[in-house]
A and B are shown apart, each in its own frame.
Chain A
Amino acid sequence: MSASPLLDGALALAAAWLAIGFAGLAAWSRTAIVARLLFPLGAAVGLALAGVALAALGAPAEARVLPIGLPGLPFHFRLDALAAAFLALLGGAGAGVSLFSAGYFRREEGTPPGLLGFQYHVFLAAMALVMLADDAYAFMVMWETMALASFFLVTANDRSAEIRRAGYLYLLIAHLGAIAILLCFGVLQANTGDYTFANLRAQHLSPFWASAAFLLALAGFGAKAGLVPLHVWLPEAHPAAPSPVSALMSGVMLKTAVYGFLRIAFDLLPAQLWWWGAAALAVGIATALLGVVFAAVQADMKRLLAWSSVENLGLVFAGIGLAILFGAYGMKSAAALALTAALYHALAHAFFKSLLFAATGAVMHATSERSLGRLGGLLRVMPWVGWAALAGALAAAGLPPLGGFAAEWLLLQSFLFTPQLPNGFLNMLVPVVAALIALVAALAGYVMVKFYGVVFLGQPREEKLSRAHDAGGWERAGMLWLIAASVALGLAPSRVVEALAPVTRLLAGAALESAGGGWLLVPVSVARASYGPALFLAGVLACFALAWVLVRRLYHGRVRRAPAWDCGYPWQVARMQDTAEGFGQPIRQIFEPMFRMRRHLPTAFDARPRYAVEVGDPVWHALYLPVARAVEATARFVGRLQQGRIAIYLAYSFATVIAILLWVTR
């Protein structure tokens, strides 16, 4: 029996993923083996990993050093409650996505299936190892491997220039983020030269350097999580990837950023300053608002979901920011509450967003369409996918009794603690943030109604949609697993909060005291607030059933089918439904300052009048293009050095000698 059974188990499972990946390389183009054998195996490994992680949640931390890595800095691994929580997320959501993938990768996606399987499983393994890493080098290696694997997965369909561009942007920003993280570790080690987390934890930085480290971590992990203004890659890369990969990226990979940020902000940094929390809160809420508003105006279903991921990650970071704020003022239980909310949200998002992306994958396979303007009415031709997506959409809309709502509920509850903060300015500010969060949550509902209504309801906007086929067995199994997890997360919040208690105890020094009896979620006391989704669901269902029975008993259940009424208009065609753009119009109008819009309006004399509107991201124009232009200008300037004349080159040599001589003899 080894001294660290759980950690060894987790490492072995990560290694198993790697092994599956290499098996994929061996089965280069044999789709059947890759899809029917390797992916389900990967799902099994994911489940096992989730099991190990759940066992490790309550157990004491385990550590191990492997004899590889740098001399003087071999790979350190450690499994504590924080890592375990995120590993459980990875294993659970990963298992569902892998199951789905087993049915999904039936055709070539551009990359040979074996290679795709390799990249996919390396991606999973790298994410697992990121969470286990206990020194900066191992962390960075795994972090970048994860980015690299996902980059190749994103560009799996590399024939399209647009996808290549998305992949490029993604890897670039991921790399810049990694540089910031590296710098952050550099600040944290405080000139000791020892990059193990144990040493980083032991350093006592001055407030200035601690703040520098914190801001670097926020930038670095924010780049991965898609926080404003580093979010621009996300709405490009997630839609470009094959759907299961989008699911993994949105559902799981973004959470590694949350993990990393928590690791640094709560675990490695010694003490927290209140304005860190305010900064994270501000960035988080800005991200959430931008994400949801942009999601509402998208006309591409995967892009819409990607923006929605931006929103959700924004909410998670807002929760973390609040936790830091409370922690800085020593309000441990409030910090624990906010942290629980953030973790809960991350967890819920992992499952419902994976589910939604999986559903879009099935839709794309069936229709080869991504544009909302060419979909519609799919619930009738692909009921499995349609109902699965409904569960996902309701969860994503933050509706009770599903998982998304429980997280939002906790987050809003934690905001009610803010009046106890000993800082008047924050007291004023935080309620406004709470209001914005409420707005974001409500808008999320808008977005999801748009998504679901346009894709699955109404009349099919294209002829071919009526021939679409439903998802296969593997895909159904994968989606069912994700639904089950989403529903379980929604209905048993007290269990989830209990499971997360070791994490908050580790990070915030406290846990939610009374998780309530059984089905009721009680963060503080019943008199203060409580929420019982199971009871809630039972109530709704009871009313539902009672109404259904009574109506039939007292009256009748007769139904007649007839053409739709539509105020008596007889020539109804699919084009008369609201389009995605039309559905987004009110949002475009209300939040006009947030967009960079280009409208094409027809004039009275147009032979073929056409209306077009293009919604751009102002951040792109305000930040990225100037930077690109500056680099270009500098490069042009530098280019003059190499202007072809040998005499000038000799003059450089001459001048250099003279300059160095002057320096040397000075």
Chain B
Amino acid sequence: MTLTGLAQQLIHLFAALLLLLAFAMLAQRRILSLINLYTMQGAVLAATAAAMGYATRQPHLYVSALVTAAIKVGVIPYFLHRVTARLNVRWDVETLINIPTTLILGIVLVIFAFDLAQPIAELSSTIARGTLGIALACVLLSLMMMITRSKAVPQVIGFLAMENGLFFAATAATYGMPMVVELGIALDVLIGMVILGVFLFQIRQQFDSLDIRHLERLKDQ
């Protein structure tokens, strides 16, 4: 019982960390730091899964934690580092909305997400109830980050961070999805990353820049 209690404490701590990291990503402009923050998020996620697995004695959560660690701490950050180095992008020029405003909006979002998740979280049967709001907040914050960034790489990182939020939700709310689904999701994310990487090179080749403001030609205005 105490062990479960401890796991619960840990999970709540991890959830808080995750939210903090999401805010940090929202505020961060350096791309390298963003990648590092993302790696940290991955690590926290893997830890959460492991803690859950420990607390509930569900072995497939360990597998999930391992896969997460491998992909989100290992493969993807490595890949992102390679890409940024090869493409020589370090900074995001300017966010579309300035960062203080973004942060204030972020707080509003978090409140909204908590409010939304509150009644549902109580229905959850897992020990991680209450963290669903945080997962939702992470998803929404990442989405907002994608909206505010004007370079392709941060946008991709935002996309990945959003996926992290989803993963956290899956773990927190339901002890993880069925195995086949989880593997499928991981595979999709991996392939998606590869494709994105290829794309970044091609975009760079076409436009001599990774600024997504070049990607605004197709319109009906």
Contact = CB atoms under 8 A, between A and B. Distances in A.
Do A and B touch, yes or no (CB under 8 Å, in the complex)?
yes
Interface of A: 639-647, 650-651, 653-654, 657-658, 661, 665
Contacts of B150: 647
Contacts of B155: 646
Nearest to B148: A647
B147 A647 contact: yes
B11 interface: no
5 contacts: A643-B219, A643-B220, A643-B221, A646-B216, A650-B143
Contacts of B221: 639-640, 642-644
Contacts of A647: 96, 146-150, 212
A636 to B, nearest CB: 9
Which 3 A-B residue pairs are closest in the complex by CB-CB distance? A644-B219, A644-B216, A642-B220
A651 B219 contact: no
B218 A661 contact: no
Given A646-B212, A661-B116, A665-B116, A653 B143 contact: yes
Contacts of B149: 647
Interface string B203-216: 00000000011011
Nearest to B213: A645
Nearest to A645: B216
A217 to B, nearest CB: 38
B140 interface: yes
Contacts of B112: 658
Interface in B148-187: 148-150, 155
B217 interface: yes
A654 B140 contact: yes
Interface of B: 96, 112, 116, 140, 143-144, 146-150, 155, 212-213, 215-221
A653 B140 CA distance: 11
A650 B219 contact: no
A647 to B, nearest CB: 5
Nearest to A655: B147
Decide if the interface of chain A is mainly helix, strand, loop or mixed: helix
B147 A651 contact: yes
Contacts of A658: 112
Contacts of A651: 147
A644 B217 contact: yes
B219 A642 contact: yes
Nearest to A647: B147
B26 to A, nearest CB: 14
A108 to B, nearest CB: 40
A650 B147 contact: yes
B143 A654 contact: yes
A661 B112 CA distance: 10
Given A658-B112, A661-B116, A646 B220 contact: no
Nearest to B150: A647
Q: Name the residue among A646, A658, A661 with the largest chain B CB count within 10 angstroms.
A: A646
Given A644-B217, A654-B144, 14 more contacts: A639-B221, A641-B220, A643-B216, A644-B216, A644-B218, A644-B221, A645-B213, A647-B96, A647-B146, A647-B148, A647-B149, A647-B212, A650-B146, A654-B147
Nearest to B155: A646
Nearest to B95: A647
A651 B96 CA distance: 12
B133 to A, nearest CB: 13
A641 to B, nearest CB: 8
A639 B147 contact: no
A386 B212 CA distance: 74
A639 B143 CA distance: 24
Contacts of A639: 220-221
A255 B212 CA distance: 61
A650 B144 CA distance: 8
A663 to B, nearest CB: 12
A408 B138 CA distance: 81
Contacts of A643: 216, 219-221
Nearest to B139: A657
A644 B148 CA distance: 15
Contacts of A653: 143
A651 B97 CA distance: 12
Nearest to A651: B147
Contacts of B212: 646-647
B22 to A, nearest CB: 15
A642 B215 CA distance: 13
A630 to B, nearest CB: 19
Contacts of A650: 143, 146-147
A458 B198 CA distance: 81
Contacts of A641: 220
Contacts of B116: 661, 665
A661 to B, nearest CB: 6
A640 to B, nearest CB: 6
Contacts of A657: 140
Contacts of A665: 116
A477 to B, nearest CB: 57
Nearest to A638: B220
A649 to B, nearest CB: 9
A190 B21 CA distance: 61
A661 B216 CA distance: 30
Contacts of B96: 647
A654 B136 CA distance: 13
A665 B216 CA distance: 36
A640 B96 CA distance: 19
A658 B112 CA distance: 9
A558 to B, nearest CB: 82
A661 B117 CA distance: 11
A639 B149 CA distance: 24
Nearest to A642: B220
A643 B220 CA distance: 6
Nearest to B113: A661
A639 B146 CA distance: 23
A507 B149 CA distance: 72
B1 to A, nearest CB: 35
Contact of A646 (B140, B144, B215): B215
B117 to A, nearest CB: 10
Q: Name the residue among A642, A643, A650, A653 with the largest chain B CB count within 10 angstroms.
A: A650
Q: Name the residue among B155, B216, B220 with the largest chain A CB count within 10 angstroms.
A: B220
A640 B221 CA distance: 5
